[in-house]
């Protein structure tokens, strides 16, 4: 591995900070579970003078989704859940659902099933005033947030039951649309397991994988490592004091709603353990977490050709989608930075993660900026790494950094 070429990643990260595009950011690359590059740049929290270091804790937002999918696969492995199970069997609020059409609410052609949740083909919207079903969902999210602010907490199952009463944007399975499916899947996992969603994740994933800094909130003793979330105002990045997608308390204290779509906070080391488990076909440190079949299914495209045409986001060009992740498919559209079979996902604040099973790579890029910086940083990191592959030896380019014990 050519270290001089890898330094181009460092140049890119420093440039993002120096230009004001990010207050702080980091990149981490592993090959076959071994670190080959790591770099932190800038500050995790400018006002508190906290540098971005290896153990900085970030809000993952939608990078929570693959973890939720893995949790569902654990139940599927055990025969406690099936992809074609109806959601209404576990969440009563999903009975007698409707779809919102030009003529008003109409009955469903079939019920939403677990597979619809995993593949974002359920018709469940995210809060969004730009289309009718999204607007109704926005009203619900606003109402729940008002209730929580008034001291009336809404837990994961109640959240799901109330979402189930909002009309769908389209008939289940008709097409792909990003929405609240993963939050409902988290509630299904809670109902099937008989445990709080967060407890199930901790016992079945976080503890076996050594993910000691991953949870739905950050306790006081770890706040010295917690990155601030920034948004752009008047051409400058300032702390963002509002939250997205029904989350409350800025992740600084527990909340009853444990969002399977956006709720987790974590570190690069923790998420790297999760990524390594998937890259090893379900095994981590000699312990099997998921079956090989579950991992192979989880990391493959599940959309039909028609559904693929509706999965048209920039970060999905050349990709399929399934089990709350994108999966690289069309080589002619992927460019030199991506190989078919790569899978991963990203989050609202700009965190990205990808596994390349063909070449044994795990790529991660973290930043905490509302809306992120797009898919380009991850693509550039991958291009630099593949371009530096001119030696067979594996070396590591990074200096470990810690904020506090």
Quick: pLDDT tens for 145-170: 999 989 999 999 999 999 999 999 99
Residue 405 confidence (pLDDT) above 90 = no
> Residue 246: its pLDDT value, please?
87
Section 284-290 average pLDDT:
98
Quick: pLDDT tens for 83-127: 999 999 999 999 999 999 988 999 999 999 999 999 999 999 999
> Residue 394: its pLDDT value, please?
46
> What gap in Å lies between CA 53 and CA 38, rounded to an integer?
10
> Residue 3: its pLDDT value, please?
79
Per-chain mean pLDDT for the chain: 95
* Own/partner long-range contacts of 144-147 (Cβ < 8 Å, ≥24 apart): 144/246, 144/257, 145/246, 145/248
> What gap in Å lies between CA 254 and CA 134, rounded to an integer?
27
Sign of CA dihedral 257, 262, 267, 273: positive
Backbone angle region of 308, left / alpha / beta, with phi > 0 → left and psi within -120 to 50 → alpha: alpha
Helix (H) / strand (E) containing 218: none
Residue 24 confidence (pLDDT) above 60 = yes
Sign of CA dihedral 224, 247, 346, 160: positive
> Residue 398: its pLDDT value, please?
55
Quick: pLDDT tens for 346-375: 999 999 999 999 999 999 999 999 999 999
Classified by CATH at the fold level, domain 83-195 comes out as Methane Monooxygenase Hydroxylase; Chain G, domain 1 (1.20.58)
Q: Where are the domains of the chain?
A: 3-70+199-387, 83-195
Classified by CATH at the fold level, domain 3-70+199-387 comes out as Beta-lactamase (3.40.710)
Residue 384, Cβ neighbours under 10 Å: how many?
A: 22
> What gap in Å lies between CA 364 and CA 58, rounded to an integer?
13
Section 132-140 average pLDDT:
96
Quick: pLDDT tens for 233-285: 999 999 999 888 888 888 999 999 999 999 999 999 999 999 999 999 999 99
> Residue 330: its pLDDT value, please?
94
Q: Which of 348, 76, 335 is nearest to 192 (CA)?
A: 76
% of the chain with per-residue pLDDT over 70: 96
Q: Tokens standing for 394?
A: 């594996």
Output the DSSP codes for 352-393: EEEEETTTTEEEEEEE-BTTTT-SHHHHHHHHHHHHT---SS
Strands 34-45 and 50-51: antiparallel
> Residue 397: its pLDDT value, please?
55
> Residue 403: its pLDDT value, please?
63
> Residue 389: its pLDDT value, please?
87
Section 11-19 average pLDDT:
98
Mean pLDDT is lowest, of 12-26, 188-202, 378-392, for 378-392
> Residue 395: its pLDDT value, please?
47
> Residue 392: its pLDDT value, please?
38
Q: Tokens standing for 155?
A: 């837990």
């Amino acid at each position: 591995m050519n270290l001089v070429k890898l330094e181009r990643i460092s140049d890119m990260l420093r440039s993002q900070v120096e230009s004001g595009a990010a207050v702080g950011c980091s990149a981490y690359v592993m090959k076959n579970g071994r670190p080959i590059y790591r770099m932190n740049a800038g500050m995790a929290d400018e006002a508190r003078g906290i540098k971005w270091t290896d153990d900085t804790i970030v809000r993952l937002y939608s990078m929570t989704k693959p973890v939720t999918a893995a949790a569902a696969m654990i139940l599927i492995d055990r025969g406690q859940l099936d992809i074609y199970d109806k959601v209404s069997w576990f969440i009563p609020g999903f009975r007698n659902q409707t779809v919102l059409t030009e003529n008003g609410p109409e009955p469903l052609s079939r019920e939403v099933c677990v597979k619809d949740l995993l593949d974002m083909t359920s018709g469940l919207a995210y809060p969004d005033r730009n289309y009718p079903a999204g607007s109704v969902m926005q009203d619900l999210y606003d109402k729940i947030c008002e209730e929580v602010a008034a001291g009336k907490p809404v837990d994961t199952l109640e959240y799901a039951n109330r979402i189930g009463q909002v009309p769908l944007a389209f008939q289940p399975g008709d097409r792909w649309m990003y929405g609240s499916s993963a939050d409902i899947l988290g509630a299904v996992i809670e109902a099937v397991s008989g445990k709080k969603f967060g407890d199930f994740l901790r016992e079945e994933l976080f503890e076996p994988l050594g993910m000691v800094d991953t949870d739905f909130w950050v306790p006081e003793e770890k706040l010295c490592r917690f990155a601030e979330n920034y948004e752009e105002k008047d051409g400058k990045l300032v702390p963002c004091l509002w939250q997205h997608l029904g989350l409350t308390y800025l992740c600084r204290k527990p909340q009853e709603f444990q969002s399977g779509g956006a709720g987790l906070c974590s570190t690069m080391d923790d998420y790297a353990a999760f990524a390594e488990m998937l890259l090893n076909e379900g095994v981590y440190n000699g312990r099997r977490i998921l079956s090989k079949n579950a991992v192979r299914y989880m990391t493959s495209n599940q959309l039909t050709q028609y559904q693929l045409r509706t999965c048209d986001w920039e970060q999905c060009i050349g990709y399929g989608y399934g089990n709350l992740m994108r999966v690289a498919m069309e080589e002619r559209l992927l460019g030199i930075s991506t190989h078919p079979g790569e899978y991963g996902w990203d989050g609202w604040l700009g965190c990205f993660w990808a596994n390349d099973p063909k070449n044994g790579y795990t790529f991660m890029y973290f930043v905490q900026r509302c809306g992120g910086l797009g898919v380009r940083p991850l693509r550039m990191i991958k291009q630099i790494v593949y371009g530096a592959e001119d030696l067979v030896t594996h070396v590591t380019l990074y200096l470990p950094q810690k904020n506090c014990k």
